[in-house]
Chains A and B, each alone.
Chain A
Amino acid sequence: MNTQIDISNLERIGDDDHDSIEISLSSGEQYLVFTLGDELYGINILSVTEISGWDSAALVPNAPNYVKGVINLRGNIVPIIDLRIRFEVGEVTYPKTTVVVILSGLVDGRERTVGFIVDSVSDVLDIEQDSLQCSSSFDGTVAANYIDGIINAGDDVVTILDTNKLLSINS
């Protein structure tokens, strides 16, 4: 699969030795890369249960603005979070290409499923755990709380998100 994102406007954050980073295709873990505005984010693919188009959700009373509501996912009530609003990046529009990434994982020992609205899904990357760069330089941004680290993918920088923190985003 090839990267099909427009990378001309990528923000480069605190990264000046990207040449030393290699993307291994044979080992390490796989990450699903998606876009929020111009930025690239990655999430461990093992926690992604499905990717679906964005339809509509039932509004949740007095919820924070990034909680778009809840949907019926095969009989379960699943909240939908708009990550663009949460991370304060990009434009919040809902064209037909808008997708929802459904993540599942254990939070406090209980299975939890949450859907995340992103602009588009772009790629799957193999990433060595030790090639992750620490993310202290993100301090101060909202996203910092949910970030594992950043990684270079060719000319692009991908921000790797922590699944567990994402799943606990609204509790």
Chain B
Amino acid sequence: MSIDLEEFHQIFFEESLENIDVVEQALIDIDLESPFDAELINSIFRAAHSIKGGSGTFGFTEVTNFTHLMEALLDEVRDGHRTLTPELVDALLKSCDCLRNWFASLQAKEALDTEISKPIAKIYQTMLNVDSSAGVSDTPVEPAGARIDADSASQDSVITDNHKTWLIEFIPDNEILLSGNEPVRLFRQLQQMGEYSVTVNTNKLPNIKSLVVDECYLAWTIQLQTDHQKQEIEEIFEWVADECRLTITDISNCSDQQLEESVEPVQESNNESVKIIQADKLTEIKHTTKRALPSSSIRVGIDKIDNLINLVGELVITQSMLSELGSNFDMSKIDKLSNGLEQLLQNTKELQENVMGIRMLPISFSFNRFPRMTRDLSEQTGKKIDLIINGESTELDKTVMEKISDPLVHLVRNAIDHGIEFPKERLAVGKSENGTIKLDAYHKGGSIVVEIADDGRGINCDAISQKALEKQLISSTEGMTDSQIFELIFEPGFSTVETVSDISGRGVGMDVVKKNIKSLGGRIEIESEEGKGTVFKVHLPLTLAILDGQLIRVGTEICIIPLISIVESLQIKQEMIKKVSGNMNVYRLRDENIPIISVGKEFGLSSSADNFDDQLLVIVDGDDCKVGLLVDDLLAQQQVVIKSLEANYKKIEGVSSATILGDGSVAMIIDIPGLLSMSAKRSISSNKHVA
């Protein structure tokens, strides 16, 4: 073997997973009632075909055999011999799941779970046997390995009793050359099989004037002494079988004389074989084993890479300009210097944005699973659902995408399960029979918003508060706004549907959804109107590696508040500070009473007692409500690169991570939810203390 096929496995796996997505997407897009969509069917066929072809070549026999069934059925559909029934679509969708599972195992170098394919294969076989005379059982596909053995055996075999002399009459059609089949090449093949001689028959050669250069007028008679089988000789002529007249006869018993005649060609044949051996050696030497370890990879558009290269080019120019300036600097060049630095800033910023862009993937990667899921859930529940997806090309950091996928799935499940009504209910309230779920993703400020909207029954505030009271999550709903009541569904252990349904009730509650989103530095909002529907808005950071931060001073330290959580900042007016139950300070902002948390006190950084003079209040979006953070000063706003504290230290409560500022010093990035829970714990314990 000249090439290690394993090199291509990883590409094959990734490509196959993409093909599975294609199949699934197309199956979902197909409208069984509409006229036959040839292009769609073809794309499904092609994807299945590619998986089959590749798996055969790379030796994944189970995959080949299974996709062979899919392909066989799809081929019939494509040719119009079979209609795409809901049952077939269903089986094909299940096959996608099965194949995904298999490819995951292959990637992990684990054994395949062949049980999962059996029921599906059975369905396919039944369909194929019942509906068509052409069974599939007669074409199990040989893995590539088997072929090597067969091939090398035929090439290396020594002279045995099978040694025979064959008389081959080969009369090609005139047009044979037009298919790229040069008879000389066929003879060369024969030469390799043994001793041969050839005589040419020029009878058909026309007069030079009527000779057409494209055409072949010659015929040949070949004698071949070989231990190869007749079948192997036929194989050489396989490609031209319908472009010639060919007879192959065994003349072993009368070959002595003819043997004499074949001396010259034999020598030629020896030369040929020498050449071939050398070529083999060459490939042997050139062969290098490269083993690509499976690792998570990301596909990056060439344009993104080109952009980076351009930017680095610009950076180099700026750098050389600055260093020249620096080596020969006087104050007259101060303008140039400041221009250069400005340019450097620009270059760095663009470079940073572009590098971050490499990690960005369109959210369609995450959205793509919803058509299938909606379809399945619609079947399961008997609810009719139209899914509308917008903003699929909105890009999101790969890590954010991976972590947000499950919460999004839960939200969509939730919308179908709790939001959308049954067709009858919908008709009864004058809505269309089909419910609509709308997914959207867009940029807003420095973050990405993903919306999951349904036009279902909306959130019933009374039911929620009732439930919350029962579960003792709250003591009274007095003074609670609707949106505060909506927030209750994110409380641990909250669920409004009496029976735990198969869809949403999988042990993961909305509280986990909210927690996951928070852990990504995002937040979730609910808007709902009873009878009209509900919208969940998930706000996510563009990336996890960089954060837009507000620098603040607390005592002598500089800390950072993520800009995304800041609502507003204000100078404290002493008279707006009110003390409420348990010695807690709140700030009256317009009509809201906002609890005040002193960052310095929570972090043990400043001991100054409740002295609000000269301090500032940064209003942030806390867990469920706004909170005012008391800080000593507001400094610059800037992007900061997130650095792990846990690598060398440990998790610090109230701090999500750290960063390095322009002067090389370290600053803590405040984890707002963490800080709030810290403060809550503290006030509880201090209250206990008081009591």
Interface residues of A (CB under 8 A from B): 56-63, 69-72, 75-79, 110, 112-114, 170-171
Contact = CB atoms under 8 A, between A and B. Distances in A.
B658 A70 contact: yes
Nearest to B603: A61
Contact of B652 (A61, A75, A76, A110): A61
B668 A76 contact: no
B643 A76 contact: yes
B604 interface: yes
A55 to B, nearest CB: 9
B652 A78 contact: no
Contact of B605 (A59, A77, A79, A170): A59
Contacts of B650: 170-171
A110 B649 CA distance: 12
Nearest to B558: A58
Contact of A62 (B603, B649, B660): B603
Interface of B: 556-558, 602-605, 643-645, 647-650, 652-655, 658, 660, 664-668
Given A61-B654, A71-B666, A77 B647 contact: yes
A72 B602 contact: no
B648 A72 contact: no
Contacts of B648: 76-79, 112-114
Nearest to A62: B604
A56 B665 CA distance: 9
B653 A58 contact: no
Contacts of A170: 649-650
A152 B104 CA distance: 60
Contacts of A61: 602-605, 652-655, 668
Nearest to B675: A61
Given A77-B644, A77-B648, A114-B648, A60 B653 contact: no
A63 B655 CA distance: 12
A62 B650 CA distance: 12
Contacts of B654: 61-62
Nearest to B602: A61
Given A62-B603, A114-B648, 18 more contacts: A60-B668, A61-B604, A61-B605, A61-B655, A61-B668, A63-B652, A72-B660, A72-B664, A72-B665, A72-B666, A76-B648, A77-B644, A77-B660, A77-B666, A78-B648, A79-B649, A170-B649, A171-B649
B668 to A, nearest CB: 7
Contacts of A63: 652
Contacts of B645: 70, 77
Nearest to B644: A77
A61 to B, nearest CB: 3
A128 B643 CA distance: 40
Contact of B649 (A59, A70, A75): A70
6 pairs of A and B residues whose beta carbons are closest in the complex: A61-B603, A58-B666, A79-B649, A72-B660, A77-B658, A62-B604
A71 B647 CA distance: 13
A62 B668 contact: no
A75 to B, nearest CB: 7
Nearest to A59: B557
Contacts of B557: 58-59
A77 B557 CA distance: 16
5 contacts: A59-B557, A60-B652, A76-B643, A76-B647, A78-B648
Contacts of B649: 60, 70, 77, 79, 170-171
Output the residue of B602, B649, B650, B658 with the most chain A CB within 10 A.
B649
B665 A58 contact: yes
Contacts of A110: 647
A76 B646 CA distance: 11
Contacts, number: 69
Contacts of B605: 59, 61
Contacts of A78: 648
A75 B602 CA distance: 27
Contacts of B602: 61-62
Contacts of A59: 556-557, 603, 605
A123 B271 CA distance: 78
Contacts of A62: 602-604, 652-654
Output the residue of A56, A59, A77 with the most chain B CB within 10 A.
A77
A61 B557 CA distance: 10
Nearest to A104: B648
A76 B644 CA distance: 8
A143 to B, nearest CB: 21
Contacts of B644: 77
A121 B32 CA distance: 81
B679 to A, nearest CB: 12
Nearest to A57: B666
A114 B658 CA distance: 16
A62 B668 CA distance: 12
Contacts of A112: 647-648
A70 B649 CA distance: 9
Contacts of A56: 665
A63 to B, nearest CB: 7
Output the residue of A58, A114, A171 with the most chain B CB within 10 A.
A58
A109 to B, nearest CB: 13
Contacts of B658: 58, 70, 77
Given A113-B648, A170-B649, A77 B643 contact: yes
Contacts of A58: 557-558, 658, 665-668
A60 B667 CA distance: 9
Contacts of A69: 666
A171 B652 CA distance: 11
Contacts of B668: 58, 60-61
B630 to A, nearest CB: 15
Contacts of A77: 643-645, 647-649, 658, 660, 666
A114 B654 CA distance: 22
A121 B293 CA distance: 45
A171 B605 CA distance: 21
Output the residue of A57, A62, A75, A76 with the most chain B CB within 10 A.
A62
A57 B654 CA distance: 19
Contacts of A71: 666
Nearest to A69: B666
A59 B653 CA distance: 14
A61 B675 CA distance: 11
B190 to A, nearest CB: 64
Nearest to B670: A61
B301 to A, nearest CB: 29
A152 B607 CA distance: 46
Contacts of A76: 643, 647-648
A29 B251 CA distance: 86
A97 B605 CA distance: 27
Contacts of B558: 58
B589 to A, nearest CB: 26
Nearest to B655: A61
Contacts of A70: 645, 649, 658, 666
